[in-house]
Amino acid sequence: MFRVVIPSRYASTRLPGKPLLSLAGRTMLEWVWSNACASAAAEVLIATDDARIAAAARGFGAEVEMTSAHHQSGTVRIAEVAIRRGWAADSIVVNVQGDEPLLPPELIDQVAALLATNKIADVATLATRLRDRAQFLDPAAVKLVTDVRGYALYFSRAPIPWQRDATPDAEPPAIARRHLGLYAYRAAALKRLAVPASAEACELENLEKLEQLRVLALGYRIVVADAVSEPGPDVNTPQDVAAVEALLRT
């Protein structure tokens, strides 16, 4: 059994009010919530600090948990929910990003099962093979590398791994992988991440603007698997809105 929490905030540098953007007749948040409800999750919650998001979510039938406005990351927002609801230490909580309206429900099930079957991991996440050079060089596409057991070594906006003797126009190496922003946490790890000393961004996170680097810096194990299906694009820019809406209408 696992739960899904969708952290959602109104503020966005590039797209203010992003969760409430209309896409093919529904808000982006409703699309995300509907996909999460189609997974095997026992419970799906939306965690927010914004009354507008809460009202919209309740309007389409979602359960809402109001959280602090001072959280620096979605992970800590979800941790507040886990603590308040008293979820057992070994329960599994999946963090579904609120800007992925095309996320296949089977990926939610996959990441939860990955953590459930790996007893020493604290967190599970997914990746896809990266064969497109433009995406390999794109800072918006987060890359990752793992050890031989499948545990994450590092996440970066830089093109990693980089072949030392590659020419500037070389294709990405065969082992290059793009990280999907989908996580499953054990509730015990979530609660520890909410402790003030752990909730502060580390230097690596500040540099790359990737909150998973704080998880690694604190010594937690993140197990990674290749996604069983290819997710659709997320929404970060006005250009993304038009592309995703076209896909939702097909």
Show me where the domains of the chain are located. 2-248
Write down the pLDDT at residue 197: 66
* pTM beyond cutoff 0.85: yes
Write down the pLDDT at residue 115: 98
**Which residues pair with residue 247 across a beta bridge?**
none
Q: Which residues of the chain have pLDDT under 50?
A: none
Write down the pLDDT at residue 101: 92
Write down the pLDDT at residue 13: 63
Longest dimension (CA), the chain: 56
Q: Which residues contact 208 (CB under 8 A, 6 or more apart)?
A: 155, 156, 157
Write down the pLDDT at residue 72: 79
Check if CATH label 1.10.10.10 holds for domain 2-248.
Answer: no
- Number of Cβ within 10 Å of residue 101's Cβ equals 26
Pairing of strands 2-8, 43-48: parallel
Q: How far is CA 239 from CA 153, 179, 243, in A?
A: 32, 21, 7
Q: Which tokens go with 109?
A: 């099930």
DSSP 18: G
